[in-house]
Amino acid sequence: MDKLASLKSFVRVVEEGSFASAARAIGQSRSQVNRAVAALEDDLGVQLLNRTTRKVSVTPSGQAFYQRAKAILSDLGDAEDSIREHRDHPSGDIRINAPMSFGTLHLGPALVDFARTYPDIRVELSLDDHFIDPVADGFDMTVRISRPTETLALIDHKIVPMRRVLCASPEFTRTHGEPDDIRDLARLPCLHYGNLPSGARWKMTGPDGPVAVQVNGVFCCNNAEVLRDAALAGLGIAELPTFIAGPELQTGRLVSVLCDYAPGPLSLYLLYPPSRQLAVRVRLLVEFIQDRFGDQPRWDLVQ
């Protein structure tokens, strides 16, 4: 039995969800893939997959073995990359996870440029606003806008602070008046982000220190681009990151309010397992993102 080939077949079946799809992805016949996985199960003495006429599912032992097998294959790829480090054309796969809005507005275009620069590196981008564990979910890197993490399982690489501002449309401030006290948020219409544990309770730092206020939430969404559009329509005051609201703040379609108050600090982080640190493709991507978004990002150039 070619154990390496069997590992690759098993991992692909788990990821594809069927022997037929795995066989097409690998470029082998279904029977070859089936024999490779069966040989692996015989060698280990455990059942890795449940097979029915309709679908394939992973057993508990198979799930645990999948995580280790995936890590082994990834480490092997990293080792191959390190040998190729001095080649003119670095290659390999890199799987990246990122939040939806930042991914579509900024990271996606950056990765297009990265792929053009390094055509032999195959990029797979997955967008999801929920936290993804790079180790458990098989990603080489996770891009997150958050506070610092404290885990020995991941390298935490800070790129740049991510500002948030309170803002509204000029029409809204003309109609409702511009707030001059943080407590005004309890009566004025506000637009709040639906995924925050604090809900419609906004926490900020002002001239007298930290403050929290229960805002008058008239519109709630778990996507900040929708909240930006609602603010542009004059529905209320929104707490928005400048990577989303920057263009509108620059053109005056949105205006900052209560400028003496700032939401809690967040930063753009790259999270990746220590085993990926020496992979050439990961180092190149970290440097590329640092060059692209570090220092003063263009979305913060508000006049």
Domain residue spans of the chain: 3-65, 83-161+266-300, 164-263
Helix, strand or coil, per DSSP, at residue 195: coil
63: number of Cβ within 10 Å:
12
Task: Give per-residue pLDDT as tens, 114-156.
Answer: 999 999 899 999 998 887 777 777 788 999 998 766 665 678 8
Distance CA 22, CA 247 (A): 44
Strands (E), 99-236: 121-127, 141-146, 155-162, 164-168, 189-193, 201-206, 209-214, 216-221
User: For the domain bounded by 3-65, which CATH number is listed?
Assistant: 1.10.10.10
Distance CA 5, CA 36 (A): 7
Dihedral angle sign, alpha carbons of residues 211, 212, 214, 219: positive
Both tokens assigned to 170: 């000029």
Q: Are 33 and 23 in contact (CB under 8 A)?
A: yes
Q: Are 139 and 95 in contact (CB under 8 A)?
A: yes
What pTM did the predictor assign? 0.70
Q: Are 301 and 250 in contact (CB under 8 A)?
A: yes
Instruction: Write down the pLDDT at residue 301.
Output: 65
Distance CA 277, CA 155 (A): 8
Distance CA 123, CA 236 (A): 39
- Total residues belonging to the chain: 303
Task: Give per-residue pLDDT as tens, 40-93.
Answer: 888 888 899 988 767 788 899 888 888 888 888 877 776 666 665 555 577 888
Instruction: Write down the pLDDT at residue 52.
Output: 77
CATH fold of 164-263 reads D-Maltodextrin-Binding Protein; domain 2 (3.40.190)
Q: Comparing 20-34, 76-90, 201-215, 272-286, which segment has the lowest mean pLDDT? A: 76-90
**CATH number assigned to the domain with residue range 83-161+266-300, chosen from the 4 options 3.40.50.2300, 3.40.190.10, 3.40.50.620, 2.70.150.10:** 3.40.190.10
Give percent helix, percent strand, percent coil of the chain, each to the nearest 5: 45, 25, 30
Give residue 193's Cα distance to chain centre. 18
Q: Given pLDDT bands bounded at 50, 70 and 90, which one contains residue 248?
A: very high
Q: Which of 188, 301, 198 is CA-nearest to residue 242? A: 301
Please state whether 65 falls in left (phi above 0), alpha (psi between -120 and 50) or beta: alpha
Is beta strand 237-241 parallel, antiparallel or unpaired with respect to 189-193? parallel
User: Does 3-65 match 83-161+266-300 in CATH topology?
Assistant: no
